[in-house]
Chain A
Amino acid sequence: MSTRGPVLRVEDLHVWFDLPGGELHAVQGVSFELHAGERLGLVGESGCGKTTSILACIGLLPPNASVAGRVYLNDRDILEGGESTVAPHRWKDVAMVFQGAMNAFNPVKRIGDQIAEPMELHRTAKGRAARTRVVELFEMVGIAPERVDRYPHEFSGGMRQRAAIAMALACNPQVLLADEPTTALDVMVQAQILELLVQLSEELGLALVLVTHDLPVVAQTCGRAAVMYAGRMVEDGATTDLYHDPKHPYTRLLFSATPDLYAQEHIVSIPGVPPRLDRDIVGCPFQPRCDRAFAPCPTIAPPFVTVAPRHAAACHLNDVALERTQ
């Protein structure tokens, strides 16, 4: 790994949504870092705060949200001054492929023109230059350049997803946040899109956050993964370590709930449901569903700490383990 610091460093990120009945604490202290060329999988069950966390990183939360925490881009906090400090970096340094982006193209506009729009908006290119850039982007994501003047309905699902990726790459970002980029796609097309993302991160040195609820996708695509539960990070480490030596019961159980073509073991579900985020959570949020809960779990929230080299987790079982080894 390079000696340079991380491209993106998120520290103690919190997001609250204002709701008619009160407040929902969607992100409750998320921290992670990302280096150039690195691929990080952000995984967790529906509603755990994956989308909210990455939207916060580029200042795209809805008006009913409030944010706290720091997001450093190359060591400068871009959340510090609110919109005025994030906006210059949005798309130019940190870009996002939205959940469902492939279905969000305007049906009556040519795909090429839609991709050129943000460039003109951000004044990175216009007119003929923008068009040249679109053709370049098409080639980069594997769409035949002669298709620039086609409409969205003339593209297959996979092609529209490639176009959405091209759009995010328009201003040459260093970081790409891809929210469920393959969820709606068939497995063959999924494999094609994942291959493209891997290739982009390798060839352009793009740092990638791949948000998904699909563990196998992350296992096969990302060197590192961060597991979220109830708005918090519960584990972060190399994907091989997460699978072969998990330091949080939730990670282990999530893997055992995932069917695998290559494994025989019985698949087991995790009993119970995640806690409500509009109430204060006392102790470990996973404790009511955990098969290893013990004395401190119902009352003391486990801190998210380094438990092994390049491996962090928020679970009291690791305190016990650490004490024993000391």
Chain B
Amino acid sequence: MSSDAGAPLLEVEDLVTRYPVSRGLMGTIAGRPRLNVHAADGISFSLRSGEMLAIVGESGCGKTTTAQTVMRMIEPDGGRIRFRGSDITTLSHRQMRPLRRQMQLIYQDPYESLDPRFRVGDTVEEPLIIHGEGGTKDGRDKLVREALERAGLSPSELYVERYPHELSGGQRQRVAIAASLVLNPSLLVADEPVSMLDVSVRAGILDLLAGLRRAGLGILMITHDLSTAAHYADRIAVMYLGRIVEIGSAKEVVRRPQHPYTRALVSVVPSRDPRTGPRPQLLKGETPNAVHIPPGCRFHPRCPQAIEECKSVDPQLRPAGGEGQEAACILVGHNEHLDAEGGGPGAPTATAPGRI
């Protein structure tokens, strides 16, 4: 494998993942086969080592599909996934095997992701056994203890013998994280890692992820919670109906959102301070399902700023706002929220035109 110095850890280009609409699930449209849910519909982003990128969006926008496709748990229908510079899009199951240990997924529900019959030590040891790592039992035990400590379960002796039901929710999530750290991965994909946890313990898990990122891991965090993303991620990508509509540094995206959807989303996030009343800009309706994607800009039917052109032009991401910030809106650059620093000659170029 090529040296990864310089190359991003993960590059995703124009990723498309469709699910056929099953007749059983959507009885109303039975009899009209060959409909697809365009869960990921042209997703591009990259992630460096030592960076946390949060993909934010409402349910059904395709964030989990994107994460699972990147992990090669779901087959993409188009696009490219490069891991440490090499294309993994079409690698076979067997070819993927050595790579799997480098890319680990953390699930949302720490209650479901742990086997209740397994002691903590066994759960964390399991990946080592599967991948034939760690040598002897003693060697594996040492790695298990290290992983537990890294996940904040310290001293590890206190935890190895316990069963999941003897742990709090936050501790269970730490065990799941330890199990994904034991193989020393370079990429962690965390799908809503704290949404099932009480707010009082969330910060601990998020700090843990932030620390791992500082130690050099690349972290892709999927979340519906913009406040969490703003606090912990380096960059935020906002998804709407299978597309990234805005991406940029976490601060810029929440402080100076460029896309009308991001602006609306930011405006409805409640503040914990009763005096910081945001003025919610309520969008009508709910995100439509990704079966019938509106023509032109997919957000135009709900967009408070839509103009005639939005019905026909499918906007691509292009520089807008702060450095490295991009938005997929033809109006970007035509509104007062912008200033001169974005989009200058030194700004990174947007994705090549003509993508579908």
Q: A residues within 8 Å of B by Cβ?
A: 45-46, 153-154, 156-158, 186-192, 195, 213-217, 219-221, 239-240, 243-244, 253-255, 257-263, 267-270, 273
In the bound complex, do residue A186 and residue B199 qualify as a contact, i.e. CB atoms below 8 Å apart? no
Q: How far is the CA of A321 from the CA of B47 in the complex (A)?
A: 52
When the two chains form their complex, are residues B227 and A261 in contact, meaning their CB atoms are under 8 A apart? Answer: yes
Whether B273 and A269, one on each chain, are in contact in the complex, defined by CB atoms closer than 8 angstroms, is no
| A263 partner, pick from B203, B273, B274, beta carbons under 8 A | B273
**Would you call A261 and B280 a contact (CB within 8 A)?**
no
Query: Quick check: which of B31-39, B185-193, B281-289, B303-311 contacts chain A, the rest being far away?
Result: B281-289
The 7 closest A-B pairs by CB, nearest first: A216-B270, A269-B203, A191-B268, A186-B58, A269-B204, A270-B200, A259-B227
A263→B278 CA distance, assembly (Å): 13
Does A269 contact B268, Cβ atoms closer than 8 Å? no
Residue B94 lies at the interface, judged by CB distance under 8 Å to chain A: no
**15 A-B pairs (CB sep. < 8 Å):** A157-B286, A186-B224, A213-B198, A216-B269, A219-B271, A219-B274, A220-B277, A240-B275, A257-B199, A258-B272, A260-B271, A261-B227, A261-B271, A262-B276, A269-B202
Q: Does A156 contact B199, Cβ atoms closer than 8 Å?
A: no
Query: Would you give the 0/1 interface string for B238-255, flagging 1 where the beta carbon is closer than 8 Å to chain A?
Result: 000000000000000010
Contact A213 B199, CB 8 Å, known A186-B286, A187-B226, A259-B225: yes
- Cross-chain contact B272 with A219 (CB below 8 angstroms): yes
Distance of B165 from chain A, by nearest CB (Å): 14
Instruction: Please name all residues of chain A whose beta carbon is closer than 8 Å to the beta carbon of B203 when the two chains form the complex.
Output: 257, 259, 267-269
Of A46, A239, A262, most B-chain CB atoms within 10 Å? A262
| Interface of chain A: mostly helix, strand, loop or mixed | helix
Known: A216-B272, A258-B227, A268-B203. 5 other contacts (CB 8 A): A158-B286, A186-B224, A188-B283, A219-B274, A258-B199
Chain A's closest residue to B230 (CB) is A261
Q: A154-B28, A261-B227 are in contact. Are A192 and B271 (CB under 8 A)?
A: no
Contact of B200 among A188, A216, A244, A253 (CB under 8 A): A253
Known: A157-B286, A257-B203. A263 touches B272 (CB 8 A): yes
Asked if B168 is at the interface of the complex by the 8 Å CB criterion, the answer is yes
What band does the interface of chain B fall in when counting residues whose beta carbon is under 8 Å from A?
35 or more
Complex-state Cα separation, A186 to B61, whole angstroms? 11
Given A261-B230, A267-B231, A269-B202, is A219 in contact with B270 using a C-beta cutoff of 8 Å? yes
Contact A188 B199 (CB under 8 A): no
User: Do B282 and A188 have beta carbons less than 8 Å apart?
Assistant: yes
- Residues B286 and A156 in contact, CB atoms below 8 Å apart: yes
Contacts A268-B203, A269-B201 given; indicate if A262 touches B268 (C-beta within 8 A): no
Asked if B177 is at the interface (CB within 8 A of a chain A CB), the reply is no
**Contact in complex: B264, A188 (CB < 8 Å):** yes
B200 touches A254 (CB 8 A): yes
Query: Considering the chains assembled together, what is the distance between the CA atoms of A267 and B199 in angstroms?
Result: 10
Which chain A residues border B168 with CB–CB below 8 Å? 273
Residues of A near B268 (CB, < 8 A) are 187-188, 190-191
8 Å CB contact of A262 from B207, B228, B273 = B273
Contacts of B269 in A (CB 8 A): 187, 216, 261
User: A158 to chain B: which residues have CB within 8 Å?
Assistant: 286
Q: In the complex the two chains form, what is the Cα distance from A191 to B273 in whole Å?
A: 16
* Residues of A contacting B226 in the complex (Cβ-Cβ under 8 angstroms): 187, 261
Measured between alpha carbons, how far is A216 from B276 in the docked complex, in Å? 10
Residues of A within 8 A of B227 (CB): 216, 258-261
Cα distance A246–B271 in the bound complex, in angstroms: 17
Q: Are A220 and B198 in contact (CB under 8 A)?
A: no
CB-based contact B286/A257 at 8 Å = no
Any chain A CB within 8 A of the CB of B266? yes
Measured CA separation A263–B199 after assembly (Å):
16
Contact partner, B58, options A188, A260, A269, A270, Cβ 8 Å? A188
B265 within 8 A of A: yes
Nearest Cβ distance between residue B196 and chain A, in whole angstroms? 10
Assess whether B274 is in contact with A257, with CB atoms less than 8 Å apart.
no
The one of A255, A257, A263 in contact with B202, judged by C-beta atoms closer than 8 angstroms, is A257
Chain B, Cβ-Cβ closest to A195: B282
Q: With the chains together, A154 CA to B276 CA distance in Å?
A: 37
Return chain B residues, CB-CB under 8 Å to A259. 202-203, 225, 227-228, 230-232
Whether the Cβ atoms of A191 and B200 lie closer than 8 Å is no
A154 to B170, CA, bound (A): 37
For B283, list chain A residues within 8 Å (CB): 188
In whole Å, how far is A288's beta carbon from the nearest beta carbon of chain B? 13
Of all chain A residues, which has the CB nearest B283?
A188
When distances are taken between beta carbons in the complex, the residues of chain B under 8 Å from A157 are 286
The docked-state distance in angstroms from the alpha carbon of A119 to that of B169 is: 41
A239, B271: Cα distance in complex, Å: 12
The answer to whether A215 and B286 touch (CB under 8 A), given A186-B59, A259-B230, is: no
